[in-house]
Every structure is written in structure tokens, then in C-alpha cells.
């Protein structure tokens, strides 16, 4: 088992190179369960016209489809680069407990990607962000939560 993490990370980097060569974003990810690769993915943003199709998101969606679940509790995610805030938050929502990555957000910034900038934006108060965010006080904003909590058929996540 000892050599597996290095092999899984090497596979994530191989996918990143492959996608970089074919004109996709230079990122790859692999999700494992024990010694098995459950899913993998490369960045598809420009080819699929999907700004959410980062390698990690592609791999998380594929793993969940394969396993028939929205939770990946027992899995490990290997990424060619430190996950951006979107992907890291998706890792939390998917309940993936462990992430191993090669390049850093600083490396991504040097290559022209906004990962580090978006981390900085998310840490700012709403009023100081470049995205204009407005909290509209409306009377029924809690309505959906009340309906959900009262719904006995709801599935918590």
C-alpha cells in the first residue's frame, strides 16, 4: 500500500498534463477508496462551457454517480494542484476527509489562474468584494427552511 499515494498523485498530474496538451485547463484529480481509483477527471471549463467543471468537481460528480451516493466519507482526493475555494467547499459538502495535492495556489496564480484571488475575496466582508452582493430583506426568506424542516420525507445532507 505504501507506494499507492504517490501513484495516485502521479495519475492526477498525468491527467493535468493530458488536459493541458489538448487545450483544457491544466488540472487533474483522482478519487480513491482504499487501493481502488473510483473516479478521475480533468478540467473541462472551456471545452464543456461549464465554469464549474474543474477537475475535482468532475471527479466528485463521477464518484457519486458510480457509488450512488452524495457522500464520499471513505475516500481520498488526489489533485494536481491545491483545490480552489469552489472545489475545496465541494470536498467539504461531499464529506471527503483527506486531500493530497502537488502544486499550490501560488503556482496556479503564477500560471494566471484566480484561485488565490478568489480565496482572498471570500475572506472579505460582503461590501468589500468585487462581486456586488446585496442582502435583500424579504418577509418570506425563511419560508423554504420551514417547509424543509417540516417535510418528513426530507433527506438531510
Among 39, 57, 73, 74, binds a second copy (CB under 8 A): 57
In angstroms, give the least distance from the CB of 77 to a second copy: 9
76, 96 contact by CB (below 8 A) = yes
11 binds a second copy (CB under 8 A): no
DSSP letter string, 72-121: -TT-EEEEEEPPPHHHHHHHHHTT--EEEEEE-HHHHHHTT--HHHHHHH
Please tell me which residue in 36, 56, 121, 134 is annotated as part of the active site: 56
Cβ atoms of residues 42 and 71 within 8 Å: no
Q: Does 124 bind a second copy (CB under 8 A)?
A: no
Quote the cell numbers at residue 141. Answer: 426568506
Strand partners, 2: none
- Quote the least distance from Cβ 33 to a second copy, whole Å: 16
Our answer to whether residue 56 is catalytic in this structure is yes
Number of residues that bind a second copy (CB under 8 A): 88
Decide if residue 64 touches a second copy (CB under 8 A): yes
Footprint of a second copy on 134-153 (CB under 8 A): 134-138, 140-145, 147-149, 151, 153
Catalytic residues: 56
Amino acid at each position: 500500500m505504501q507506494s499507492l499515494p504517490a501513484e495516485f498523485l502521479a495519475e492526477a498530474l498525468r491527467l493535468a498534463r493530458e488536459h493541458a496538451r489538448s487545450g483544457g485547463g491544466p488540472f487533474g484529480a483522482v478519487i480513491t477508496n482504499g487501493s481502488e481509483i473510483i473516479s478521475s477527471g480533468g478540467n473541462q471549463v472551456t471545452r464543456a462551457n461549464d465554469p464549474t467543471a474543474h477537475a475535482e468537481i468532475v471527479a466528485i460528480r463521477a464518484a457519486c454517480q458510480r457509488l450512488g451516493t452524495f457522500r464520499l466519507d471513505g475516500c481520498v482526493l488526489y489533485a494536481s494542484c491545491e483545490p480552489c475555494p469552489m472545489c475545496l467547499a465541494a470536498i467539504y459538502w461531499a464529506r471527503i476527509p483527506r486531500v493530497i495535492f502537488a502544486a499550490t495556489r501560488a503556482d496556479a496564480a503564477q500560471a494566471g489562474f484566480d484561485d488565490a484571488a478568489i480565496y482572498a475575496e471570500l475572506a472579505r466582508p460582503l461590501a468589500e468584494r468585487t462581486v456586488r452582493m446585496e442582502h435583500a430583506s424579504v418577509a418570506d426568506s425563511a419560508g423554504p427552511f420551514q417547509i424543509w424542516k417540516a417535510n418528513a420525507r426530507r433527506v438531510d445532507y
